[in-house]
Amino acid sequence: MRIAIIGLAQSGKSTVFTALTGQHGWSADGLLESELTPVAEARRPAPNGQTVEIIDTPGLCRGSSLGRGAGGAFLREIADVDLLLVVVRLFGRGLIAMDHPERSVDGFRDARIVDEELAMSDASAIREWLGSDSGGGAEKGAALAAILNAIEHGQMARTMGLAADELRDLTEIDLLTAKPLILIANVDEEDLYSETGLPFPDELRQKAEIAGTPLLVCCARLEADSACVADTGTEASDGLVDELTGGQDLLTRVYSVCEHSGLFA
């Protein structure tokens, strides 16, 4: 099982990577084109004993699928993973986020940008196939043209009623928008403990609910710190944190979503 962590630049992807693997991932400073995407195994094997490989990727921005920024080049490389973890930044709300590609903190907008970049990357992969003489036959060409049309009209392939591997059999292209996906809302530690309400806008939750996308709230920094100290399996926490996390660490919650979605089958 392979999982890729994606999201806009400076959203906390590498911190999530550390939380899940206990190792360090990408940092924008050390980014060299020749470097490979950091890959590590999860700290614990999956409940069925399966090895889970986790891949950290450089950050996306608007236009990544057209080659802008560091992240776009990796989109097709991670097209064969089984699950995408999309990290959206919600920490540092109310501050000007000079290190963020959009210069502000807005998880709903960022989740939409990621969807758009995945869709544009899929669309260009399909167009490339349709434009080449790949000999896939008229049936396959027609299926791909229909999928391309839907993606260009904003529909994600994962909502087309076909599983990612069924779509793959049909199209022979690994479509990013067909991948199962978990949204990770990366909040400040103070937000986790805040009693003034949930630390992310309702529209992000609504977007997740409408799309049937699991949404996990976490403070990646806190989880990364405890992952580096010890692997305790589940983290004891209390109060609001328990309500948000069920008292479990991020890896446990990711595994739980995978189990419910049949991804460990």
Residues in contact with Mg ion by the rule CB under 5 A: 13-14, 26
Q: Which of residues 30-59 bind ligand GTP (CB under 6 A)?
A: 58-59
Residue 21 interacting with ligand GTP (CB under 6 A)? no
Which part of the chain contacts ligand GTP (CB under 6 A), choosing from 33-41, 146-154, 162-170, 219-227? 219-227
Of residues 260, 99, 253, the one with CA closest to residue 183? 253
Shorter beta-carbon distance to Mg ion: residue 58 or 244: 58
- Judged by CB under 6 A, the number of residues near ligand GTP is 20
Q: Which pair of tokens denotes residue 18? A: 């550390």
Q: Please state, in angstroms and rounded to a whole number, the distance separating the CA atoms of residues 71 and 254.
A: 23
Q: Cβ distance 216 to 182 under 8 Å?
A: yes
Residue 161 buriedness (CB in 10 A; 0-12 / 13-18 / 19+): exposed
To Mg ion, the closest distance from the beta carbon of 29 in angstroms equals: 10
Candidate residues 3, 86, 151, 219; the one interacting with ligand GTP per rule CB under 6 A: 219
Residue 9 interacting with ligand GTP (CB under 6 A)? yes
Shorter beta-carbon distance to ligand GTP: residue 15 or 245: 15
Look-up: residue for tokens 């405890």? 226
To ligand GTP, the closest distance from the beta carbon of 92 in angstroms equals: 6
Candidate residues 3, 4, 6, 13; the one interacting with ligand GTP per rule CB under 6 A: 13
Residue 188 interacting with ligand GTP (CB under 6 A)? yes
The residue with its CB nearest to ligand GTP is: 59
Of residues 228, 220, 232, the one with CA closest to residue 191? 220
Q: Please state, in angstroms and rounded to a whole number, the distance separating the CA atoms of residues 231 and 123.
A: 41
Candidate residues 3, 14, 185, 245; the one interacting with ligand GTP per rule CB under 6 A: 14
To ligand GTP, the closest distance from the beta carbon of 214 in angstroms equals: 19
Candidate residues 27, 149, 206, 261; the one interacting with ligand GTP per rule CB under 6 A: 27
Work out the angle between the directed axes of helices 13-21 and 250-260 (0-180°, nearest 10).
90
Of residues 62, 65, 91, 94, the one with CA closest to residue 78? 65
What is residue 2's three-state secondary structure?
A: strand
Residue 100 interacting with ligand GTP (CB under 6 A)? no
Residue 138 buriedness (CB in 10 A; 0-12 / 13-18 / 19+): exposed
State in Å, rounded, how far the first CA of the chain is from the last one. 10
Residue 74 interacting with ligand GTP (CB under 6 A)? no
Shorter beta-carbon distance to ligand GTP: residue 59 or 180: 59
DSSP label of 49: S
Q: How many CB atoms lie within 10 A of CB 193?
A: 15
Candidate residues 147, 181, 220, 258; the one interacting with ligand GTP per rule CB under 6 A: 220
Candidate residues 21, 65, 186, 237; the one interacting with ligand GTP per rule CB under 6 A: 186
List interacting residues with ligand GTP (CB under 6 A): 7, 9-15, 26-28, 58-59, 91-92, 186, 188, 219-221
